[in-house]
């Protein structure tokens, strides 16, 4: 970590961190100003390129980023300072601790981009895409809110599709292969994605919509 980044971690980060574990129910609006219209969540933001782009493009939306690795946090803090992104907050622990405390209808969008695939079978229980996490996100996401997921791991892609297909709250938006092979215009590339493409790995970009609650109850 560079000296300037260390200063940001020591002095700016404490002002922007959220603390969901201090309460049983965590309102994600906590810590943001009153002028914001919505709150989004990114789980595992890596170097922060995607989150910073979304924050700049959506100044009326607060974005909470979950990332345990300090180097990625430091990189995003640099973008927050340089681009004056006042609508970004950080959580540096296991994202599960946050999502399990989110109340009903508290998120307008969620991103899980290139999560660790944990390829060994004995480690699959560590994967962030699970019935438990999807249940929490289904509760927290508002009706018609988007859940965006990306992966460059073929085995994890099968896992993601299988878990989301089983969950009644989410509907995949793809109608053709192009819908998941290409990023939407408001889904910027990240350094990780660029490295994956350079290495010859195919990336999948999945968009799911949280089904209206009344529609699910009427089935």
Number of domains observed in the structure of the chain: 1
User: Is residue 7 among the annotated active site residues?
Assistant: no
The pair of structure tokens assigned to 147 is: 């859940």
Structural domain span for residue 194: 3-217
Query: In the prediction, which pLDDT does 162 show?
Result: 96
Catalytic residue, candidates 35, 37, 83, 116: 116
**CATH, residue 138:** 3.40.50.150
The pair of structure tokens assigned to 135 is: 């249940």
Report the alpha-carbon distance of residue 88 to residue 66 in Å, rounded. 11
Q: Taking Cα atoms as reference points, which of 107, 6, 111, 109 lies closest to residue 48?
A: 111
Beginning with the edge strand found earlier in the chain, give each strand of the sheet holding 170-172 in spatial order: 88-91, 61-66, 38-43, 107-113, 141-151, 204-210, 170-172
Query: In the prediction, which pLDDT does 49 show?
Result: 97
Query: In the prediction, which pLDDT does 83 show?
Result: 97
Query: In the prediction, which pLDDT does 216 show?
Result: 78
Spans of the chain, pLDDT less than 50: none
Query: In the prediction, which pLDDT does 219 show?
Result: 53
């Amino acid at each position: 970590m560079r000296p300037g980044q260390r200063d940001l971690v020591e002095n700016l980060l404490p002002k922007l961190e959220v603390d969901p574990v201090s309460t049983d129910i965590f309102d994600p609006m906590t810590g943001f100003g009153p002028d914001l219209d919505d709150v989004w969540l990114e789980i595992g933001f890596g170097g922060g390129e995607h989150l910073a782009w979304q924050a700049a493009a959506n100044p009326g939306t607060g974005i909470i980023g979950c990332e345990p690795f300090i180097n990625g946090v430091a990189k995003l803090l640099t973008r927050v300072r340089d681009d004056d992104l006042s609508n970004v907050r950080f959580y540096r622990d296991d994202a599960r601790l946050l999502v399990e405390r989110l109340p009903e209808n508290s998120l307008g969008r969620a991103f899980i981009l290139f999560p660790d695939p944990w390829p060994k079978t004995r480690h699959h229980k560590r994967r962030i895409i699970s019935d438990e996490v999807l249940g929490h996100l289904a509760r927290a996401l508002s009706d018609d809110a988007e859940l965006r997921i990306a992966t460059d791991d073929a085995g994890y892609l099968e896992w993601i599709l299988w878990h989301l297909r089983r969950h009644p709250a989410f509907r995949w938006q793809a109608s053709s292969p192009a819908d998941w092979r290409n990023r939407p215009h408001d889904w910027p590339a990240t350094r990780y994605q660029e490295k994956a493409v350079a290495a010859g790995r195919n990336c999948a970009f999945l968009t799911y919509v949280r089904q209206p609650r009344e529609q699910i109850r009427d089935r």
